[in-house]
Chains A and B, each alone.
Chain A
Amino acid sequence: MTRRAPSNPSPEHLQREAPRRLDWRDTGLFIGPALVALALVAVIPTLWAIFSSLFEWHFHRPDARAFVGLGNYLRLAGDPRFLNAVLVTGVYTTVSVTATLVFGTLLALLTRAPFPGKGMVRALLTVPMIMTPVVSTLVWKTFFFEADVGLINWVLGFAGIRGPAWVASSPYALITVLVVNIWFMTPFVYLVMDAALEGLPGDVIDAAKIDGANYWRRVRFVILPMLRATIVFTVIFRITIDARMFEIIHVMTGGGPARDTEVLTLWVYNSALRGFHLGYGNAGGVVLMLLVGAACLAIMLVGLRDLYRRTGST
């Protein structure tokens, strides 16, 4: 259909066509306060973190701080406790992101077709996400993972398995915090995927069905490719959440046993706020920030480049 030129241009029409005029006063009043507030609480601390990471700086001896340039970063590279934290963060984030992505997507696919009580099911599936993480971790720790009178070892007992001291022994402690994290974050992936599936064009999927593609082939070759951008952004959001995760680990294991679960967030907390080595701790924080940024960028580049290549070839 060709667009008709309006025979009688209305004032509204003229206004919409005109480029928006920059009005410093209006723009400043609407967005200024929010940006100033964010600069105060976010930019200043971030710059301070980077600045302090260049110093040998002890919280209780602020006058004795000494400029060391990149010295803290060089020390980090040879610090086994820090490198352990990098490794634990990597394993923790990778396992948790992958598992939540698989479970959340499967759940969204499974709840696609109508069934009785669907609204209720969707509401209840969000419960892990909105529960206060400190509380849910305490519940998992005391009632479910407890070694002697916990639910999980009681259930395992029926299979003749003597369950381990989950929270206190290696490698089970890491599994424990991962289970809680996966339980906590699967609903997020579920909700995003559920909304994305709802927005897919039904006719394409129907066409594949008529062409004789079975359910799993439709998922694999029709539905998932259409969800690619959503999946990329979900993975990025999930990485940022897991990489900053603090409360589940702090409450469940405190980083133990033997630093099995000491992720970078906890390492920075221990170094800077418990050990009072501000400069050194913040250097670790800056590394964490850079690692998260690099991971997100890599996922975005790989995921979306592939997306453009695919759409380009069809």
Chain B
Amino acid sequence: MSARRGRRLAEAARLLVIALAVFIAILPLLWVVLASFKTAADVSQLPPRLLFTPTLENYHRVLDAGFAAFFRNSVIITLAAVALSVALGVPAAYGFSRLRVPAERPLLLFVLSIRFVPYIVFAVPLFVILARARLVGTHGTLIVVYILINLPLVIWLMKSFFDDVPTDIDDAAAVDGANRFQSFALVVLPSTAAGVACVTILSFIFTWNEYLLALVLSGRAAQTLPVVLTRFLGGMEDPVRWGLLSASSVVVLAPVVIVTLLVHRYVRAGFAGGST
């Protein structure tokens, strides 16, 4: 009888710890979303007001501050960068999975090693080279540079997805007279649609959130949201500005949080595969 009671206690403790972990994990998100709808008087109250009259005033102020232009920068740069990395990376992964590649292992290790180099090592030379070419502060520059963070990820993850597709279907396609490109585009690629979704979403999250390269290379004209947030909200210590901080934070977070919660399965699969 007491053994069963001990097990029940252990189970209760387990669920309590899990609940606490979830609470800590999502507290910053919950807090900032609630704060974004609070008035300046409510936002710094402790204990936090859970029942309050919501206001859209903070969001109006975000719009007035010209946030729409920066949101547009982020959207353009992120979508184009993701498209570029997927367009380059998916065929390359197919090549590594299916074709005979000279020096295959060294090349794959080279691709992987890029993910091990601290970004600051790339950022300083890129700034100097691109500044001389007067390319700092254009959308195109960031779009191309984001290959650094996305392409190695796309190649490695997609290669493992392609490796999971049995080569029998390539052979069947070859027997039916398909060439390499037809076999890739019409037969193998459709059977790895989940993989493509996975790498697309992960690249989207990492690009949208990226800060260091954007800080160094976006100049004034191509500032993305994370950079703007830190520049334009200096002096946030003042609680009067907390509402504005919260509303602009929610605007920055909304795309990644919504996408992640909608297609959580793919995000989880990608992270579990070691993507960071």
Stretch at the interface among B51-59, B62-70, B190-198, B259-267: B259-267
| Contact among B100, B151, B272 with A194 in the assembled complex (CB-CB below 8 Å) | B272
> Whole-angstrom distance between the alpha carbons of A265 and B117 in the complex?
11
Q: Are B35 and A138 in contact (CB under 8 A)?
A: no
**Size of interface on A: residues with Cβ below 8 Å to B:** 95
Beyond A42-B122, A146-B237, 20 additional pairs, beta carbon < 8 A: A27-B101, A30-B99, A37-B88, A41-B145, A42-B117, A44-B129, A48-B128, A49-B125, A122-B264, A125-B22, A130-B256, A132-B209, A132-B252, A132-B253, A188-B271, A191-B271, A191-B272, A237-B274, A264-B118, A288-B120
In the complex, chain A residues whose CB is within 8 Å of the CB of B48: 151
**Size of interface on B: residues with Cβ below 8 Å to A:** 95
Listed A/B pairs (17) with beta-carbon separation below 8 Å: A16-B167, A23-B100, A26-B180, A44-B129, A45-B125, A123-B261, A125-B21, A126-B268, A127-B29, A128-B25, A142-B242, A143-B35, A149-B46, A250-B230, A268-B124, A269-B120, A273-B127
CB-CB under 8 A for A289 and B118, given A110-B17, A125-B21: yes
> Whole-angstrom distance between the alpha carbons of A37 and B126 in the complex?
14
Q: Does A12 contact B (CB under 8 A)?
A: yes
Interface string of B164-181 (1 = CB under 8 A from A): 000110011011000010
Q: Does B186 contact A (CB under 8 A)?
A: no
Q: Are A115 and B147 in contact (CB under 8 A)?
A: no
Q: Which residues between 29 and 43 of chain B lie within 8 Å of chain A, taking CB atoms?
A: 29, 31-32, 35
| Contact among A130, A251, A278 with B230 in the assembled complex (CB-CB below 8 Å) | A251
Q: Are A289 and B99 in contact (CB under 8 A)?
A: no
Interface string of B109-147 (1 = CB under 8 A from A): 011001111111111111111000000000000001101
Stretch at the interface among A68-76, A200-208, A241-249, A303-311: A241-249
Q: Which residues between 236 and 276 of chain B lie within 8 Å of chain A, taking CB atoms?
A: 236-237, 239, 242, 245, 249, 252-253, 256-257, 260-261, 264, 267-268, 271-274, 276
CB-CB under 8 A for A26 and B99, given A12-B168, A110-B17, A135-B253: yes
Q: Does B26 contact A (CB under 8 A)?
A: yes
> Whole-angstrom distance between the alpha carbons of A11 and B96 in the complex?
24
A89 to chain B, nearest CB (A): 10
B29 to chain A, nearest CB (A): 6
In the complex, chain B residues whose CB is within 8 Å of the CB of A175: none
| Contact among A12, A135, A183, A293 with B171 in the assembled complex (CB-CB below 8 Å) | A12
Q: Are A130 and B18 in contact (CB under 8 A)?
A: no
Closest 4 CB pairs of A and B: A30-B95, A244-B118, A195-B272, A34-B92
Interface string of A156-194 (1 = CB under 8 A from B): 000000000000000000000000000100011001101
Q: Does B24 contact A (CB under 8 A)?
A: yes
A200 to chain B, nearest CB (A): 14
Q: Does B75 contact A (CB under 8 A)?
A: no
Q: Are B88 and A273 in contact (CB under 8 A)?
A: no
Q: Which residues between 108 and 157 of chain A lie within 8 Å of chain B, taking CB atoms?
A: 110-111, 113, 115, 121-136, 138-144, 146, 149, 151, 154
In the complex, chain A residues whose CB is within 8 Å of the CB of B233: 138
Q: Are A247 and B151 in contact (CB under 8 A)?
A: no
| Contact among A132, A183, A237 with B208 in the assembled complex (CB-CB below 8 Å) | A132
A158 to chain B, nearest CB (A): 11
In the complex, chain B residues whose CB is within 8 Å of the CB of A281: 124
Nearest B residue to A26, CB-CB: B180
Q: Are B111 and A38 in contact (CB under 8 A)?
A: yes
Q: Does B161 contact A (CB under 8 A)?
A: no
| Contact among B91, B114, B129, B172 with A38 in the assembled complex (CB-CB below 8 Å) | B114
| Contact among A23, A49, A126, A251 with B267 in the assembled complex (CB-CB below 8 Å) | A126
Q: Does B216 contact A (CB under 8 A)?
A: yes
In the complex, chain A residues whose CB is within 8 Å of the CB of B118: 240, 243-244, 264-265, 285, 288-289, 292
In the complex, chain A residues whose CB is within 8 Å of the CB of B129: 44-45, 48
In the complex, chain A residues whose CB is within 8 Å of the CB of B252: 132, 134-135
Q: Are A142 and B230 in contact (CB under 8 A)?
A: no
Q: Are A188 and B276 in contact (CB under 8 A)?
A: yes
> Whole-angstrom distance between the alpha carbons of A35 and B274 in the complex?
22
Q: Are B95 and A27 in contact (CB under 8 A)?
A: yes
Q: Does B205 contact A (CB under 8 A)?
A: yes
> Whole-angstrom distance between the alpha carbons of A44 and B117 in the complex?
13
Q: Are B272 and A139 in contact (CB under 8 A)?
A: no
A285 to chain B, nearest CB (A): 4
Q: Are B148 and A27 in contact (CB under 8 A)?
A: no
Q: Are A123 and B249 in contact (CB under 8 A)?
A: no
Q: Which residues between 16 and 54 of chain A lie within 8 Å of chain B, taking CB atoms?
A: 16, 19-23, 26-27, 29-31, 33-35, 37-38, 40-42, 44-46, 48-49, 52
